[in-house]
Amino acid sequence: MHGLTSSVDDNYLSDEHRMLRDMVREFADNEIAPVAREFDREGKFPWGNVAKMAELGLFGIPWPEEYDGAGMDVLASALVSEELAKVCPSHAITVGATISLAASPIYYFGNEEQKQRYLTKLARGEVLGAFGLTEPEAGSDAQGTQTRAEEKSDHWVLNGTKIFITNGGVGEIFVATAVTGRRSNGQKEISSFILTKETRDLEEALAVGTGHAVDLEYTPGFTHGKKEDKLGWRASDTTELIFEDAIVPKENMLGERGHGFKNFMQTLDGGRIGMAAHLLGIAEGALEQTLKFTSERRQFNTRICDFQGIRFEIADWLTRIEAGKHLTYHAANLRQAGEPHSKEAAMAKLYCSELANWATVKAVQFHGAYGYTTEYRVERLMRDAKIGEIGEGTSEVQRMVIARHLLGPETTPEKEDA
């Protein structure tokens, strides 16, 4: 193996970060690499490894010890995504989505009781979690949200469907948005709620001893829908979430009424940092595999890594990885410090998603016909990379976010009329 070393790490990482990185790297090589191909092929969720990752404490990295977390930080969480994604992006997103999409809004916007009841379970990896924003008619465009919540005396009644939800079937604790009314300007008022349901894979969860909590009160009328069959991230669980007269107690509103979308945008800023690290890991994993292959494979009586055509690309590859590290680790540290980081998170995610796609296409190319077979990791990484340009805001949306920081909101004739 060609483990990459980088002096960028020396600049950003503490001793604790380095120990964490090395531990996760070793775990991924020993426990994940041998099974990743099979789980990808079968589209099977890796319950056994989820239990091992929960035992190591990976699901609670950034949360304080009082909520059963490890008391580390945003950068530490990014490093875990990076190291897991080098070997298996499906494993990485299973952990990443639980931390940065389910636990994160509860940590940042929840009250103490919600944190004690839900965040601790997610931090321990006792159950998995997810968040639901995307709908058939809504995603980055929040005004399209159709899921509605009707207020009753002591509860809310939710109706609607969320789609493409990571950990949707396997998870038990969810955060979802719904329309709770209209504002005076006619726009939809969006709020967020905490909902719970039993994991779809109860048998597997009980067998491995993680993924199911006996003391959660489930939300009546809330369940998962069909599981998606995907191009990549095949061992990660993506489903619909369905609310049919789902009864949510008043105390399960997360954050203030009407702040649902704003809070989710802030959650996504964190999610994007995790995704940037994830995609960086894919680019690094692909490079490690390519260095190994091109140093061993001989054609025309020489190693193929001796050809300049390959050397130049590999030089660009490493240069871009180091640039991606600076963008990602910098955004992580801004978020940790409570500084504005929306633009930096978008830039890191945009850059690393394009890097991961460029890199994995190169990796398959340099592996020749071998790279086109499932025997080599790079074809899987290439399929897994594609979601990076789509999930948690497409590359186009990232560019919108970045441009708004320079130019302010877009002014369209339609909006001027209104």
Binding site for other proteins (CB under 8 A): 1-3, 5, 15-16, 18-20, 22-23, 26-27, 56-58, 60-61, 70-72, 298
248, 155 Cβ separation under 8 angstroms:
yes
* Annotated catalytic residue, options 296, 392, 414, 416: 392
Which residue's CB is nearer to other proteins, number 60 or number 271? 60
Query: CB neighbours of 195 closer than 8 A, spacing ≥ 6?
Result: 158, 173, 174, 175, 176, 219, 222, 243, 246, 248, 252
CB 278 within 8 A of CB 286: no
CB half-sphere exposure, 309, CA atoms < 13 A: 5
Shortest distance (Å) from residue 69 CB to other proteins: 9
User: Residue 104 or 398: which CB sits closer to other proteins?
Assistant: 104
Min. distance of Cβ 16 from other proteins in angstroms?
A: 5
SS3 307: coil
CB of 141 to other proteins, least distance (A): 39
- Catalytic residue list contains 244: no
Q: How far apart are CA 92 and CA 95, in angstroms?
A: 5
- Comparing CB distances to other proteins, the nearer of 35 and 157 is 35
293 Cβ contact list (under 8 Å, min separation 6): 366, 367, 370, 371, 376
Burial tier of 380 (Cβ tally within 10 Å: 0-12, 13-18, 19+): buried
Question: What is the DSSP annotation of 370-384?
Answer: HHTSTTSHHHHHHHH
Question: Please, what is the minimum distance in Å from the beta carbon of residue 303 to other proteins?
Answer: 12
* DSSP structural state of residue 135: B
Q: Which two tokens stand for residue 357?
A: 């796609």
Q: Report in angstroms how near the CB of residue 251 gets to other proteins at its nearest.
A: 31
What residues pair up with 241 in beta bridges, in sequence order?
162, 224
Instruction: Give the nearest distance from C-beta 57 to other proteins in angstroms.
Output: 4
Any idea of the CA torsion for 167, 172, 173, 178, to the nearest 10 degrees?
Answer: 80
Residue 337 burial (C-beta neighbours within 10 Å; 0-12, 13-18, 19+): exposed
Closer to other proteins at the Cβ: 71 or 181? 71
Q: Which is nearer to other proteins, 16 or 66 (CB)?
A: 16
Which of 174/317 has CB closer to other proteins?
317
Could you give the residue numbers annotated as active site?
392
